[in-house]
Amino acid sequence: MDFKIETYADYTVRGEQPEILFWVGCAGSFDERAQKITKAVARILHHAGVKFAVLGTEESCNGDPAKRAGNEFLFQMQAMTNIGVMNGYGVKKIVTACPHCFNILKNEYPELGGNYVVVHHTQLLQQLIDDGKLKVAGGKFIGKKITFHDPCYLGRGNDVYEAPRSIIEKLDVELSEMKRSRTKGFCCGAGGGQMFKEPENGTKDVNIERTEEALALNPDVIAVGCPFCMTMMTDGVKNFNKEDRVKVLDVAELIAQAMDL
């Protein structure tokens, strides 16, 4: 990175307040592939002149995996820790590149005292484009065929379908829809805590089923908006030995690469 990503603590020392908290999440912090998404989002926000900060080491797991796996007690412990930190800093608005973080911060933190405006990174990117703060050109993606896989917690969970598609279409590409998309979207196979365990016995893994649908369109890029979906779709593409032909990229990476950020 050619600029410093500041923490809320950095701002507090100066007596200042950033516009927005960038909630990085566990995947975005520790998974090598998802770290590239984190960097892409940070570069775009910096380029657009958005004053943002991260919590750094003060951010801990939001509690989603624990809750989905049935451990409500652990979820509430993790959530209350994060809420204490964010309320202490006076956080008002949060952006995250993970729909699991987005969903739980937006819909399940309020009942524990964490009331924030929470947006997915595709929603914020669309707003920056609409406001003229981000001018997107297709670059090397012009004319490419791209299909978008709807993350469960972004689409069916929170009715966010248009933001990612609107951004992709700004790249002057051919946006091709899978037979199961939008309200009829199909899971990548990682939801409900499945990301952290082996699949049950069956005839076909969920991510293989979903990847088959995407590859049937013969796309150049499978676009995603979730680090879990990134892992599952990438594994699916590798299963069919198509990784040299088909790329799996987050929407933020598409924008960052097209703008050469």
Write down the residue that tokens 């995603």 correspond to: 224
Supply the CATH number for residue 77's domain. 3.40.50.1860
H or E stretch covering 78: helix 72-89
Are 115 and 139 contained in the same domain? Answer: no
pLDDT (tens digit, 9 = 90+) per residue, 80-137? Answer: 999 999 999 999 999 999 999 999 999 999 999 999 999 999 999 999 999 999 988 7
**Cα R_g (the chain), whole angstroms:** 18
Q: Give me 37's structure tokens.
A: 């998404």
pLDDT (tens digit, 9 = 90+) per residue, 172-203? Answer: 899 999 999 999 999 988 776 666 667 777 77
pLDDT (tens digit, 9 = 90+) per residue, 7-55? Answer: 999 999 999 999 999 999 999 999 999 999 999 999 999 999 999 999 9
CA pair distance 26, 21, nearest whole angstrom:
15
| 116 domain-assigned | yes
Are 72 and 102 contained in the same domain? Answer: yes
- Cβ atoms of 19 and 230 within 8 Å: the answer is no
CA pair distance 107, 59, nearest whole angstrom:
19
Are 92 and 195 contained in the same domain? Answer: no
Residue 60 has pLDDT above 80, yes or no: yes
Q: pTM higher than 0.85, yes or no?
A: yes
CA pair distance 228, 151, nearest whole angstrom:
9
The 221-224 sheet, strands edge to edge: 174-175, 145-148, 221-224, 247-250
The residue segments making up the domain with residue 74 are: 8-127
Q: Give me 176's structure tokens.
A: 């091709």
